[in-house]
Amino acid sequence: MPCVVEMNNISKVFPGIIANDKVNFQLKKGEIHVLLGENGAGKTTLMNILYGLYQPTSGEIYIGGKEVIIKDPNVAIQHGIGMVHQHFMLIKPFTVAENIILGNEPVMHNGMKLDMKKAIKNVENISNDFGLKVDPMAKIQDLSVGIQQRVEILKALYRGADILILDEPTAVLTPQEIEELGIIIRKLADEGKSIILITHKLKEVMSMSDRVTVIRRGKIIDTIDTKAIKTDDLAEMMVGRKVKMEVDKQEKTPGEVIFSVEKLKVRDNRGLEAVKDVSFNVRAGEVLAVAGVDGNGQTELVEAITGLRDIESGQVQLDGLDLSKLSTKEIIESGVGHIPEDRHRRGLVLGNSLAENMILGYHYTEPFSKNGFMKYDKIHEHAQVLIKEYDVRTPDENVKAGSLSGGNQQKAIIAREMYKNPRLLIAAQPTRGLDVGAIEFVHKKIIESRDNNQAVLLVSLELDEVMSLADRIAVIYDGRIVDTIDAKKATEKQLGILMAGGKHKETRDMNSEVMGHE
Amino acid sequence: MNDGNKLKKITKDLWLILRFPLISIAAGFFIGAVLILIAGKNPLIAYIALFQGSFGGVDKIGETLFKMTPILMTGLSFSIAFRTGLFNIGGEGQFLAGAITAIIAGWYFQSLPHLLLVIIMFILAILAGAAWASIAGVLKAKMGIHEVITTIMLNYTALYLVNYIVRAVMNPQILLGTKAEAHTVSLPDAARLTKLKDVFEIFGRSSVHTGIFIAVGCAVFMYILLFRTTLGYELRSGGLSPDAAEYGGVKKSRNIIMAMGISGAVAGLAGAVNVMGITYYVAQSSTTPGYGFDGIAVGLVGGLHPIGIIASSFLFGILSNGARKMQLEGIPKEVIAIIQGVIIVFIASQYIIKIIYKKRKENEIKKEKIIPEKSKEEEVR
């Protein structure tokens, strides 16, 4: 089979770092090729070079057998390369058709007027050709994330892409949407398109690809047929050492309920009800996972519990103490540890040093503060101990928190929160954007916390994570807990349906009357 | 880390901090030189005159220190708020509040001995500045009204309120029964700060007064407050990342009120020092005194750091003091304003210089191909 893309000896050097080191990469016609690697391994850099966003420091690129210099994305598009970015580049108030034709608009009256009819026709044609159903007249803001991604793919196809690069396409999708995406790209490949998937998720590699190229620290480790390799071996190639994919979790009988939420109502920033009558409880030595698609009230729920957002009504109790009227400071003092979902915005003061960050939340307590003065020797000592204990990779504790990699930032936050020995640990998207090694670490620590008889509230979008860590799973949809199920009995399919707002069979019958009135 | 490396690191850090201000200052002087050339004069003569005017003798240096005193304090005032994420451009109003309070206190407590009187005047001026700024602080904290708007409005409110007090409350006509003046009564001797020339003859005819020590003391105070106290930790964290500070249990509203209060306190003290050190009365005026606005430039050029602000206020002192000597050489003193303007523009556009630096660094590394250990960084993505 001929190669449509050949990248030979590509190197890319950034200040202080070699992102790609003599990389060779071949893409065959009609294949789905996964580029697998951890965050920061250099896979996105390589693809940005192919798409003309970066210039390689050295090396050649051949497309269809001819050497090309891709000096910007326009050249890439001319050569039939299309890229779907992780964060969609769509104009939300515009329609699907308007977005797709943008930059390449059909016109009439000698270019004086946009030919909208033709545009819609074009979009319909192309979506029929590839079986990607969308309504050309729908506005982007009204579409689900899965459909928006479809629009992005159509946009690339409309520009005549034969080679499609998808950057972490599944990060924002539900399990069902991921499945649909798999079908779509397989169909595209059958039509003769060649597809590159950038990902760090092993499951997708196995289910979606023909071949996989593993990249680690800027170097290509190997390119293999997907059929010929097992998940565990792939993980080892990606990380560079043996990794445990399964979380070690012992059976444990949870203790009494120490944390409970009763009929909680919370409004979002626009004043709409984001959390509607949510009730649940967590027992000592138990992980309760709140699973759901992003934007179903999880953020508001956690903010309300931790005092970062006003509670409209309802109760939050920890060890019999009502938290609903307390300030964040008082809530921290009552024994709540919180790994926030956005470590850049909430979890760390990026401009402060690592040492200063490792006391945030108890910075005013002894021995770190005395009579209103900071005790920096104690603070540095504290940071050094935690850095060692939690294996935070950093030159020292004086560097700015913002200069650390995501995994190490998260380790620092976890170290800080665990140091408090909290009664309740809230972990919100604790592994978002982390690589396999770091995920393993975070999971281990969460289970450790559970085994220490702490109550753990895990909020996650990752089904695998939820299923392997949780003892019980509460599925949230549209601000309500749709159902709470035993994690041992839960299946991915069942959770997927619940996450999409579908009711669990038994509960559906029970609630059908109530639902009918709404 | 051994001592040699440590020293190297400190020098490197210092250079990283100083390079933008230094480049900006060089650019200011360069563009100033071009303009002087265009005006048909010799820039070399102009600059020699400038530095002679501000350095040629202890008296000249004294005058430079005198010019530096109020703007050092307003620069600190601005920077404390800015570090907390607040844009306090109400330094003018807070300065005026402190100045008029000093006059009032100086009049009503004039029978007290010098030291006690001065301390009372300082304390009241500090409270007045803090209170004036707190109006904006509370409005921001409790109602979310932007501090830029309220502090601008409070500047005018302060100006006209002070003008009213000058005419109708503290006027010599009312208090002494003499004829009406366009200024308040003068401070009694006991309320005035000592001029250094009265103690050390070497200061000649310069106006530098003990206020300079108070100003430097404020810089020390700011350093300790920001970098040594728990409150400073909370203020800085809130300025760098309000959401993370809130997550850490720091109350946003308390941070805002505290920062505005402290900022206003320093500006108020600056007003008192200025009145007690040189003017001795507050005059009726159609515009605010300008020290508060100069403080914004001084604070930014000084990198919002107390040490940097001492340096930048000294530079601005040099420029405004040397301007007179330059004028005697036939060079318009507006050149000084242009140099100041260019420096500020350059500092404000640091970002552009930073990009140039980054590009150059990238090229250098391309040539050298250094492979460091730590590979996973944000930059890759």
Q: What is the pLDDT of residues A119-163, one digit of tens each?
A: 899 889 988 888 888 889 989 888 888 888 899 999 999 988 999
The tens digit of pLDDT for each residue in B238-248 reads 999 999 999 99
For residue B113, being part of any structural domain is answered with: yes
Question: How far apart are the C-alpha atoms of A335 and A360, rounded to whole Å?
Answer: 15
Asked if the model's pLDDT at residue B18 lies above 90, the reply is no
Chain A: give the shortest CA distance to residue B308, in Å: 19
The three-state secondary structure class of A37 is: coil
Question: How far apart are the C-alpha atoms of B121 and B115, rounded to whole Å?
Answer: 10
User: Which residue in this structure is represented by tokens 């030159």?
Assistant: A395
Indicate yes or no: CB of A14 within 8 angstroms of CB of B244: no
Range B225-229 contact pairs with CB under 8 angstroms and sequence separation of 24 or more: B225/B80, B225/B262, B226/B80, B226/B83, B226/B306, B228/A373, B228/A374, B228/A376, B229/A372, B229/A373, B229/A374
Secondary structure (DSSP) of A126-178: HHHHTT----TTSBGGGS-HHHHHHHHHHHHHHTT-SEEEEESTTTT--HHHH
Q: Considering the entire predicted model, what is its pTM?
A: 0.78
Chain B: give the shortest CA distance to residue A425, in Å: 14
Among partner residues B250, B362, B376, which is closest to A14 by beta-carbon distance? Answer: B362
Give the A:B interface size as CB pairs under 8 Å: 128
Contact A188, A33 (CB under 8 A): no
Q: Which pLDDT belongs to residue A361?
A: 94
Indicate yes or no: CB of A327 within 8 angstroms of CB of B249: yes
- Residue B351: pLDDT band (50, 70, 90) is low
What angle, 0 to 180 degrees and rounded to 10, lies between the N-to-C axes of helices B252-274 and B230-240? Answer: 110
- Residue B122: pLDDT band (50, 70, 90) is very high
B79: CATH: 1.10.3470
Asked if the model's pLDDT at residue A338 lies above 80, the reply is yes
Q: Which pLDDT belongs to residue A15?
A: 72
**For residue B370, what is the nearest residue in chain A, using CA coordinates?**
A16
- Residue B353: pLDDT band (50, 70, 90) is low
In chain B, residues with a C-beta closer than 8 Å to the C-beta of A14 are: 362, 365, 379-380
Query: How wide is the angle at C-alpha A374 spanned by C-alphas A372 and A377, nearest 5°?
Result: 150
How many C-beta atoms surround the C-beta of residue A485 within 10 A? 20
Question: How far apart are the C-alpha atoms of B136 and B123, rounded to whole Å?
Answer: 21
Indicate yes or no: CB of B248 within 8 angstroms of CB of A360: yes
Please name the residues in contact with A196: beta carbons below 8 A apart, sequence gap of 6 or more.
A27, A33, A34, A35, A47, A163, A164, A165, A166
For residue B270, being part of any structural domain is answered with: yes
**For residue A21, what is the nearest residue in chain B, using CA coordinates?**
B371
The tens digit of pLDDT for each residue in B184-205 reads 999 999 999 999 999 888 888 8
Contact B183, B284 (CB under 8 A): yes
Please name the residues in contact with A281: beta carbons below 8 A apart, sequence gap of 6 or more.
A257, A259, A260, A261, A288
Q: How many domains does chain B have?
A: 1
For strands A286-291 and A472-477, give the pairing: parallel
**For residue A333, what is the nearest residue in chain B, using CA coordinates?**
B249
For residue B45, being part of any structural domain is answered with: yes
Among partner residues A14, A217, A361, which is closest to B248 by beta-carbon distance? Answer: A361
Strand partners, A27: A5
Tell me if chain B has a CB within 8 Å of the CB of A17. yes
For residue B198, the one-letter residue type is D
What mean pLDDT, rounded, does chain B reach? 88
Tell me if chain B has a CB within 8 Å of the CB of A230. no
- Residue B8: pLDDT band (50, 70, 90) is confident
For residue B6, being part of any structural domain is answered with: no
Q: Which pLDDT belongs to residue A507?
A: 43
Among partner residues B240, B249, B358, which is closest to A361 by beta-carbon distance? Answer: B249
For residue B143, being part of any structural domain is answered with: yes
ipTM above 0.95, yes or no: no
User: Which residue in this structure is represented by tokens 């005035």?
Assistant: B192
- Residue A457: pLDDT band (50, 70, 90) is very high
Strand partners, A164: A82, A195
Please report the residues numbered 155 through 174 in chain A whose beta carbons come closer than 8 angstroms to any beta carbon of chain B: none
Indicate yes or no: CB of B380 within 8 angstroms of CB of A18: no
- Among A473-477, A496-500, A506-510, the minimum mean pLDDT is found in A506-510
- Residue B364: pLDDT band (50, 70, 90) is low
Asked if the model's pLDDT at residue B231 lies above 90, the reply is yes
- Residue A514: pLDDT band (50, 70, 90) is very low
Residue % of chain B over a pLDDT of 90: 62
User: Which residue in this structure is represented by tokens 């969308």?
Assistant: A134
Question: How far apart are the C-alpha atoms of B54 and B314, rounded to whole Å?
Answer: 10
- Residue B333: pLDDT band (50, 70, 90) is confident
- Burial class of A267 by CB neighbour count within 10 A (0 to 12, 13 to 18, 19+): middle
The tens digit of pLDDT for each residue in B30-46 reads 998 998 898 888 889 88
- Residue B361: pLDDT band (50, 70, 90) is low
For residue B117, being part of any structural domain is answered with: yes
For residue B372, being part of any structural domain is answered with: no
What mean pLDDT, rounded, does chain A reach? 88
Contact A429, A410 (CB under 8 A): no
Q: Where are the beta strands (DSSP E) in A297-368?
A: 311-318, 321-322, 336-339
For residue B111, the one-letter residue type is S
The tens digit of pLDDT for each residue in A32-83 reads 999 998 877 888 889 999 999 899 999 999 998 899 999 988 899 999 999 9
Tell me if chain B has a CB within 8 Å of the CB of A42. yes
Domain limits at B250? 40-331
**For residue B364, what is the nearest residue in chain A, using CA coordinates?**
A15
Contact A379, A355 (CB under 8 A): yes
The tens digit of pLDDT for each residue in A394-407 reads 888 999 998 887 88
User: Per residue in A375-395, is it b (16+ CB within 10 Å) or e — as a string?
Assistant: beeebbebbeebbeebebebe
Q: Which pLDDT belongs to residue B363?
A: 58
Classify the C-alpha dihedral B115-B118-B122-B123 as positive or negative: positive
For strands A336-339 and A424-428, give the pairing: parallel
Contact A384, A397 (CB under 8 A): yes
Asked if the model's pLDDT at residue B126 lies above 80, the reply is yes
For residue B15, being part of any structural domain is answered with: no
